Amino acid sequence: MVLTRRIIPCLDIKDGRVVKGTNFIGLRDAGDPVELAERYNEQGADEVVFLDITASKENRGMIIDVISRAADRLFLPLTVGGGIRSLDDIKRTLRAGADKVSMNTSAVEDPSLIEQGARAFGTQCIVVAIDVRRNMSDNPEATQVSLKDGTTCWYEVVTYGGSKPTGIDAIKWAQEAEERGAGEILLTSMETDGTKDGFDIPITSRISDAVGIPVIASGGVGNLEHFYDGFVYGKADAALAASVFHYGEMTVSEVKDYLIERGLPIRPPMRR
């Protein structure tokens, strides 16, 4: 059976508003999250991701309110991440109307949280987000990845919005996340995030080959061909993008039409 590839707009939320930057900095306001999500719903998005990038305890109530409003008005799966640190956080987020939760830093610091969430709510609810950065240092324990220019590196997991290196090999961490019960991997390369130069194909393809669960490619979309490359060369099951959608550079419908024309298995966009 050929699985349909998914197109997923991502909304980074700070203080109840959607923001977008480059390499996780230089944030600009992009609008109300529920209004934007409704637009993508109408365009035929397969899912929507909300990421609470401030993710502090005092803002938890605000994101819960956003989730509740979105769940009342959307008819597509909603994944929510940011500040998910405990089983209770998972429960509250799902009860507010999310279909899945995404864990990043907390999963690295306490991998048992993946197992707890999968046991309590099912693997289909648990997404492990992995932020990675190329590391050119010599590390015989890490998996070497060949880049387009012929050089090799290993990809290191970074946490806290890309600010903290962990020394963890990204490919091995993706495999461990799957073993512990993750239902999906949301992979973002710090090298490409916000650059519009395309997904980081080398690490996307390697992780897609290394795990048996869906991999969502994230970070770097700038044109329609980048989506195609992410699916065909990156072997991703889903492609996530933010700024190109938020600022009207392309619509979900345009992306889907392009990919269907190029022969990929895509759920057709909605037509008015």
152: which strand partners? Answer: 146
Separation of alpha carbons 55 and 85, rounded Å = 10
Asked about 110 being catalytic, the answer comes back as no
Separation of alpha carbons 222 and 196, rounded Å = 4
Separation of alpha carbons 163 and 218, rounded Å = 18
Question: For residues 168 and 108, is the Cβ–Cβ distance under 8 A?
Answer: yes
- Cα four-point dihedral sign 86, 117, 89, 37: positive
- What tokens were used for 20? 């977008």
Asked about 131 being catalytic, the answer comes back as yes
- For residues 227-237, one letter each, b for 16 or more C-beta atoms within 10 angstroms of the residue's C-beta and e for the rest, the string is bbbbbbebbbb
Spot the catalytic one: 12, 89, 200, 237: 12
Spot the catalytic one: 46, 131, 169, 237: 131
Separation of alpha carbons 153 and 164, rounded Å = 18
- Angle between the N-to-C axes of helices 170-180 and 112-121, in degrees from 0 to 180, rounded to the nearest 10: 40
Separation of alpha carbons 186 and 238, rounded Å = 9
* Residues taking part in catalysis: 12, 131
